[in-house]
Amino acid sequence: MPTHTYRTYEQDTIARGNAFLNKFTKNNLFAKAMSSLTLFSVGSIAKVFMNMYHKTTVYNKEEFNELIYKSEKDKQPVITVMNHVSTLDDPLVWGASLPCSTLARPSRMRWTLGAEDVCFKTEGERQFFSYGQTIPVKRFGAGPDQPAVDAAISLLNQGKWVHAYPEGFVHQPLEPFAGTFRYFRWGISRLILESPKPALVIPIYGKGLEKVYPENMKSSILGHGEFRTPIDIAFGAPLDSARLSDFRGEWRDALQGSKNGEINGQIKSIRSRVADYIQQGVVKLKMKYFPSEINFDFDPRLRDASFWSNQTVVSVKGLTAAEKRKKAGVV
Protein backbone atom coordinates (compact mmCIF):
# COMPACT_ATOMS: atom_id res chain seq x y z
CA MET A 1 0.00 0.00 0.00
CA PRO A 2 1.40 3.45 -0.87
CA THR A 3 2.19 5.96 1.83
CA HIS A 4 0.48 9.35 1.81
CA THR A 5 2.51 12.53 1.36
CA TYR A 6 1.90 15.52 3.58
CA ARG A 7 1.67 17.85 0.59
CA THR A 8 -1.09 15.80 -1.05
CA TYR A 9 -3.03 15.63 2.22
CA GLU A 10 -2.70 19.40 2.68
CA GLN A 11 -3.89 20.15 -0.85
CA ASP A 12 -6.87 17.81 -0.48
CA THR A 13 -7.84 19.41 2.85
CA ILE A 14 -7.67 22.96 1.48
CA ALA A 15 -9.68 21.98 -1.60
CA ARG A 16 -12.44 20.40 0.53
CA GLY A 17 -12.43 23.41 2.85
CA ASN A 18 -12.74 25.92 0.03
CA ALA A 19 -15.56 23.94 -1.56
CA PHE A 20 -17.44 23.91 1.74
CA LEU A 21 -16.93 27.65 2.30
CA ASN A 22 -18.22 28.41 -1.20
CA LYS A 23 -21.52 26.72 -0.35
CA PHE A 24 -22.55 29.31 2.23
CA THR A 25 -20.30 32.35 1.80
CA LYS A 26 -20.09 34.88 -1.02
CA ASN A 27 -17.18 37.13 -1.90
CA ASN A 28 -18.98 40.12 -3.41
CA LEU A 29 -19.52 43.69 -2.23
CA PHE A 30 -23.06 43.05 -0.97
CA ALA A 31 -21.98 40.05 1.10
CA LYS A 32 -19.04 41.97 2.54
CA ALA A 33 -21.32 44.88 3.48
CA MET A 34 -23.85 42.54 5.10
CA SER A 35 -21.09 40.78 7.00
CA SER A 36 -19.75 44.09 8.30
CA LEU A 37 -23.27 45.21 9.30
CA THR A 38 -24.04 41.92 11.05
CA LEU A 39 -20.79 41.72 12.99
CA PHE A 40 -20.86 45.39 14.00
CA SER A 41 -24.55 45.39 15.00
CA VAL A 42 -24.34 42.24 17.10
CA GLY A 43 -21.04 43.32 18.65
CA SER A 44 -22.36 46.78 19.52
CA ILE A 45 -25.47 45.39 21.19
CA ALA A 46 -23.30 42.94 23.11
CA LYS A 47 -20.97 45.77 24.15
CA VAL A 48 -23.85 47.77 25.64
CA PHE A 49 -25.26 44.67 27.30
CA MET A 50 -21.96 43.66 28.91
CA ASN A 51 -20.95 47.15 30.02
CA MET A 52 -24.30 48.52 31.21
CA TYR A 53 -26.18 45.52 32.57
CA HIS A 54 -23.32 43.51 34.04
CA LYS A 55 -20.04 43.99 35.90
CA THR A 56 -17.57 42.91 33.25
CA THR A 57 -13.81 42.72 33.74
CA VAL A 58 -11.52 41.89 30.83
CA TYR A 59 -7.89 40.97 31.50
CA ASN A 60 -5.17 41.68 28.91
CA LYS A 61 -7.64 43.29 26.52
CA GLU A 62 -5.16 45.79 25.08
CA GLU A 63 -2.49 43.16 24.49
CA PHE A 64 -4.97 40.88 22.76
CA ASN A 65 -6.31 43.61 20.49
CA GLU A 66 -2.80 44.65 19.53
CA LEU A 67 -2.03 41.06 18.59
CA ILE A 68 -5.19 40.76 16.47
CA TYR A 69 -4.42 44.04 14.72
CA LYS A 70 -0.87 42.93 13.92
CA SER A 71 -1.94 39.45 12.82
CA GLU A 72 -4.30 40.87 10.21
CA LYS A 73 -1.55 43.13 8.91
CA ASP A 74 0.97 40.27 8.74
CA LYS A 75 -1.56 37.66 7.56
CA GLN A 76 -0.62 35.59 10.58
CA PRO A 77 -3.24 32.90 11.34
CA VAL A 78 -4.63 32.96 14.87
CA ILE A 79 -6.55 30.30 16.79
CA THR A 80 -8.34 31.29 19.99
CA VAL A 81 -9.76 28.65 22.32
CA MET A 82 -12.17 29.20 25.19
CA ASN A 83 -14.25 27.24 27.67
CA HIS A 84 -17.94 27.20 26.73
CA VAL A 85 -20.18 28.33 29.60
CA SER A 86 -23.25 29.74 27.79
CA THR A 87 -24.99 29.80 24.43
CA LEU A 88 -24.13 33.49 24.04
CA ASP A 89 -20.43 33.31 24.88
CA ASP A 90 -19.34 34.30 21.38
CA PRO A 91 -21.12 37.63 20.80
CA LEU A 92 -20.89 38.75 24.42
CA VAL A 93 -17.18 38.04 24.83
CA TRP A 94 -16.26 39.91 21.66
CA GLY A 95 -18.63 42.76 22.42
CA ALA A 96 -16.89 43.25 25.76
CA SER A 97 -13.37 42.82 24.42
CA LEU A 98 -13.04 44.20 20.89
CA PRO A 99 -13.07 47.84 19.72
CA CYS A 100 -15.73 49.00 17.26
CA SER A 101 -13.07 49.32 14.56
CA THR A 102 -12.52 45.55 14.72
CA LEU A 103 -16.21 44.66 15.03
CA ALA A 104 -16.91 46.55 11.79
CA ARG A 105 -14.02 44.97 9.88
CA PRO A 106 -14.76 41.37 8.76
CA SER A 107 -11.17 40.82 7.59
CA ARG A 108 -9.98 41.35 11.17
CA MET A 109 -12.85 39.59 12.93
CA ARG A 110 -12.91 35.99 14.02
CA TRP A 111 -14.47 33.10 12.16
CA THR A 112 -16.04 30.57 14.48
CA LEU A 113 -17.44 27.06 14.41
CA GLY A 114 -21.16 26.98 15.28
CA ALA A 115 -23.42 23.98 15.84
CA GLU A 116 -25.41 23.29 12.69
CA ASP A 117 -28.34 21.94 14.73
CA VAL A 118 -28.52 25.21 16.70
CA CYS A 119 -27.47 28.01 14.34
CA PHE A 120 -28.44 26.76 10.87
CA LYS A 121 -31.91 25.26 11.28
CA THR A 122 -33.68 27.70 8.92
CA GLU A 123 -32.73 29.68 5.83
CA GLY A 124 -32.89 32.93 7.81
CA GLU A 125 -30.55 31.57 10.45
CA ARG A 126 -28.22 30.28 7.75
CA GLN A 127 -27.97 33.74 6.20
CA PHE A 128 -27.53 35.50 9.53
CA PHE A 129 -24.81 33.24 10.88
CA SER A 130 -23.04 33.03 7.53
CA TYR A 131 -22.80 36.83 7.45
CA GLY A 132 -21.59 36.58 11.03
CA GLN A 133 -18.65 34.45 9.87
CA THR A 134 -19.85 31.22 11.45
CA ILE A 135 -19.02 27.81 9.98
CA PRO A 136 -21.73 25.13 10.44
CA VAL A 137 -20.22 22.15 12.23
CA LYS A 138 -21.99 18.83 12.72
CA ARG A 139 -22.06 17.35 16.21
CA PHE A 140 -23.12 14.03 17.73
CA GLY A 141 -20.79 11.62 16.01
CA ALA A 142 -19.61 13.50 12.92
CA GLY A 143 -16.11 13.70 14.38
CA PRO A 144 -13.19 15.99 13.56
CA ASP A 145 -12.70 14.78 9.99
CA GLN A 146 -15.56 16.77 8.50
CA PRO A 147 -15.83 19.62 5.96
CA ALA A 148 -16.39 22.33 8.59
CA VAL A 149 -12.97 21.67 10.10
CA ASP A 150 -11.45 21.56 6.61
CA ALA A 151 -13.01 25.00 6.02
CA ALA A 152 -11.48 26.38 9.21
CA ILE A 153 -8.07 25.05 8.13
CA SER A 154 -8.55 26.73 4.75
CA LEU A 155 -9.25 30.05 6.51
CA LEU A 156 -6.11 29.67 8.60
CA ASN A 157 -4.20 29.12 5.38
CA GLN A 158 -5.45 32.57 4.31
CA GLY A 159 -4.07 34.12 7.51
CA LYS A 160 -7.47 34.44 9.21
CA TRP A 161 -8.49 34.25 12.85
CA VAL A 162 -10.51 31.16 13.86
CA HIS A 163 -12.17 30.86 17.26
CA ALA A 164 -13.22 27.51 18.74
CA TYR A 165 -14.95 26.07 21.78
CA PRO A 166 -13.19 22.69 21.93
CA GLU A 167 -15.57 21.24 24.54
CA GLY A 168 -18.19 21.13 21.76
CA PHE A 169 -21.10 21.85 24.12
CA VAL A 170 -22.16 24.45 26.65
CA HIS A 171 -20.79 23.15 29.93
CA GLN A 172 -22.40 24.28 33.20
CA PRO A 173 -21.55 21.65 35.83
CA LEU A 174 -22.72 22.05 39.41
CA GLU A 175 -20.63 21.80 42.56
CA PRO A 176 -18.11 20.48 43.21
CA PHE A 177 -17.22 20.58 39.50
CA ALA A 178 -18.34 24.15 38.75
CA GLY A 179 -15.69 25.83 36.65
CA THR A 180 -14.20 22.63 35.30
CA PHE A 181 -13.91 21.74 31.62
CA ARG A 182 -15.05 18.80 29.57
CA TYR A 183 -12.32 17.05 27.60
CA PHE A 184 -11.27 19.00 24.50
CA ARG A 185 -12.24 17.43 21.19
CA TRP A 186 -9.90 16.63 18.33
CA GLY A 187 -11.19 19.31 15.98
CA ILE A 188 -8.92 21.80 17.75
CA SER A 189 -6.02 19.42 17.23
CA ARG A 190 -6.65 19.34 13.50
CA LEU A 191 -6.65 23.14 13.31
CA ILE A 192 -3.28 23.34 15.05
CA LEU A 193 -1.62 20.38 13.34
CA GLU A 194 -2.93 20.88 9.81
CA SER A 195 -2.88 24.63 9.29
CA PRO A 196 -0.37 25.08 6.43
CA LYS A 197 0.86 28.21 8.19
CA PRO A 198 1.71 27.78 11.89
CA ALA A 199 -0.95 29.62 13.89
CA LEU A 200 -0.66 31.58 17.10
CA VAL A 201 -2.80 29.76 19.68
CA ILE A 202 -4.30 31.98 22.37
CA PRO A 203 -6.19 30.60 25.40
CA ILE A 204 -9.19 32.47 26.79
CA TYR A 205 -11.02 31.79 30.03
CA GLY A 206 -14.46 33.13 30.88
CA LYS A 207 -16.67 32.90 33.95
CA GLY A 208 -19.97 34.46 34.96
CA LEU A 209 -21.98 34.06 31.76
CA GLU A 210 -23.29 30.74 33.05
CA LYS A 211 -25.31 32.80 35.55
CA VAL A 212 -26.57 35.18 32.89
CA TYR A 213 -27.77 32.36 30.61
CA PRO A 214 -28.10 29.20 32.72
CA GLU A 215 -29.08 26.10 30.79
CA ASN A 216 -31.72 25.17 33.38
CA MET A 217 -33.31 28.65 33.45
CA LYS A 218 -37.03 28.28 34.18
CA SER A 219 -37.89 31.98 34.21
CA SER A 220 -36.16 34.98 32.72
CA ILE A 221 -36.09 38.77 32.63
CA LEU A 222 -35.63 40.16 29.14
CA GLY A 223 -34.57 36.73 27.98
CA HIS A 224 -31.92 35.99 30.55
CA GLY A 225 -31.16 35.28 34.19
CA GLU A 226 -29.35 37.51 36.67
CA PHE A 227 -28.53 41.19 36.10
CA ARG A 228 -25.40 42.94 37.41
CA THR A 229 -23.55 39.66 37.31
CA PRO A 230 -19.76 39.74 37.75
CA ILE A 231 -18.32 38.48 34.46
CA ASP A 232 -14.61 37.85 33.96
CA ILE A 233 -12.81 37.28 30.66
CA ALA A 234 -9.07 36.58 30.64
CA PHE A 235 -6.87 36.51 27.54
CA GLY A 236 -3.63 34.59 27.81
CA ALA A 237 -0.34 34.90 25.97
CA PRO A 238 0.14 32.70 22.87
CA LEU A 239 1.02 29.13 23.79
CA ASP A 240 4.57 27.89 23.31
CA SER A 241 5.22 27.94 19.56
CA ALA A 242 8.17 25.55 19.89
CA ARG A 243 5.98 22.94 21.61
CA LEU A 244 3.30 23.33 18.95
CA SER A 245 5.95 23.03 16.24
CA ASP A 246 7.11 19.75 17.78
CA PHE A 247 3.55 18.42 17.64
CA ARG A 248 3.23 19.50 14.00
CA GLY A 249 6.49 17.82 13.06
CA GLU A 250 5.48 14.62 14.82
CA TRP A 251 2.13 14.66 13.02
CA ARG A 252 3.72 15.17 9.60
CA ASP A 253 6.09 12.27 10.20
CA ALA A 254 3.17 10.06 11.23
CA LEU A 255 1.16 11.07 8.17
CA GLN A 256 4.07 10.34 5.84
CA GLY A 257 4.15 6.81 7.18
CA SER A 258 0.40 6.16 7.07
CA LYS A 259 -1.25 4.23 4.28
CA ASN A 260 -3.34 6.46 2.01
CA GLY A 261 -3.52 9.11 4.72
CA GLU A 262 -5.56 6.91 7.05
CA ILE A 263 -6.01 8.13 10.61
CA ASN A 264 -4.03 5.45 12.39
CA GLY A 265 -3.34 4.96 16.07
CA GLN A 266 -0.24 7.13 16.01
CA ILE A 267 -2.12 10.09 14.53
CA LYS A 268 -4.95 9.63 17.02
CA SER A 269 -2.43 9.67 19.86
CA ILE A 270 -0.95 12.95 18.61
CA ARG A 271 -4.40 14.51 18.30
CA SER A 272 -5.25 13.44 21.83
CA ARG A 273 -2.05 14.89 23.28
CA VAL A 274 -2.49 18.19 21.44
CA ALA A 275 -6.08 18.55 22.70
CA ASP A 276 -4.90 17.83 26.23
CA TYR A 277 -2.05 20.36 25.93
CA ILE A 278 -4.46 23.06 24.75
CA GLN A 279 -6.91 22.30 27.54
CA GLN A 280 -4.18 22.57 30.15
CA GLY A 281 -3.22 25.94 28.66
CA VAL A 282 -6.72 27.22 29.42
CA VAL A 283 -6.63 25.62 32.88
CA LYS A 284 -3.35 27.35 33.71
CA LEU A 285 -4.80 30.67 32.55
CA LYS A 286 -7.78 30.16 34.85
CA MET A 287 -5.55 29.39 37.82
CA LYS A 288 -3.34 32.41 37.10
CA TYR A 289 -6.20 34.87 37.45
CA PHE A 290 -8.46 32.91 39.80
CA PRO A 291 -6.09 30.90 42.04
CA SER A 292 -8.65 30.64 44.84
CA GLU A 293 -11.02 28.55 42.72
CA ILE A 294 -11.25 24.87 43.54
CA ASN A 295 -9.32 23.14 40.80
CA PHE A 296 -10.17 19.63 39.65
CA ASP A 297 -9.00 20.18 36.08
CA PHE A 298 -5.85 18.13 36.59
CA ASP A 299 -7.96 15.19 37.78
CA PRO A 300 -7.36 12.64 34.97
CA ARG A 301 -11.01 11.55 35.08
CA LEU A 302 -12.10 14.89 33.67
CA ARG A 303 -10.10 14.26 30.49
CA ASP A 304 -11.82 10.92 29.97
CA ALA A 305 -14.86 10.99 27.66
CA SER A 306 -16.55 8.18 29.60
CA PHE A 307 -16.57 10.30 32.77
CA TRP A 308 -18.83 12.85 31.09
CA SER A 309 -21.12 10.29 29.43
CA ASN A 310 -23.12 10.16 32.67
CA GLN A 311 -23.16 13.57 34.29
CA THR A 312 -25.07 12.55 37.40
CA VAL A 313 -21.88 13.23 39.35
CA VAL A 314 -21.86 16.84 38.18
CA SER A 315 -25.57 17.61 38.30
CA VAL A 316 -26.77 16.26 41.63
CA LYS A 317 -29.25 18.67 43.18
CA GLY A 318 -30.32 19.01 46.79
CA LEU A 319 -26.92 18.14 48.31
CA THR A 320 -24.41 20.33 50.06
CA ALA A 321 -21.07 20.96 48.39
CA ALA A 322 -19.41 18.52 50.81
CA GLU A 323 -22.00 15.84 50.05
CA LYS A 324 -21.54 16.36 46.33
CA ARG A 325 -17.79 15.99 46.73
CA LYS A 326 -18.27 12.71 48.57
CA LYS A 327 -20.70 11.39 45.97
CA ALA A 328 -18.31 12.38 43.18
CA GLY A 329 -15.42 10.62 44.89
CA VAL A 330 -13.45 13.82 45.38
CA VAL A 331 -11.21 14.01 48.43
Q: Per residue in 164-202, pLDDT tens? A: 999 998 888 776 777 788 889 999 999 999 999 999 999
Task: With cut-offs at 50, 70 and 90, classify the pLDDT of residue 233.
Answer: very high
Return the domain boundaries, the chain.
6-328
pLDDT of residue 179: 78
Structure letter (DSSP) for residue 298: T
| Residue 204 Ramachandran class (φ > 0 left, ψ -120 to 50 alpha, else beta) | beta
CA distance 205 to 184: 14
Q: Is the pLDDT of residue 205 over 80?
A: yes
Q: Are 303 and 280 in contact (CB under 8 A)?
A: no
In the predicted model, what is the mean pLDDT of residues 15-23?
95
For residue 301, the tally of other CB atoms under 10 A from its CB is 14
> What does the CA dihedral 132, 138, 140, 146 come to, rounded to 10 degrees?
-130
Average the pLDDT over each of 27-31, 121-125, 240-244, 307-311 and give the range with the smallest value: 307-311
- CATH code: domain 6-328 is 3.40.1130.10
Order of strands, sheet of 230-235, starting from the edge strand that comes earlier in the sequence: 55-59, 230-235, 200-207, 78-82, 161-164, 111-115, 134-137
CA distance 87 to 213: 7
Average the pLDDT over each of 164-173, 247-256, 267-276, 291-300 and give the range with the smallest value: 291-300
Burial of 232 (0-12, 13-18, 19+ CB in 10 A): middle
CA distance 14 to 16: 5
Q: pLDDT by residue (tens digit) across 77-129?
A: 999 999 999 989 999 999 999 999 999 999 999 999 999 988 999 999 999 99
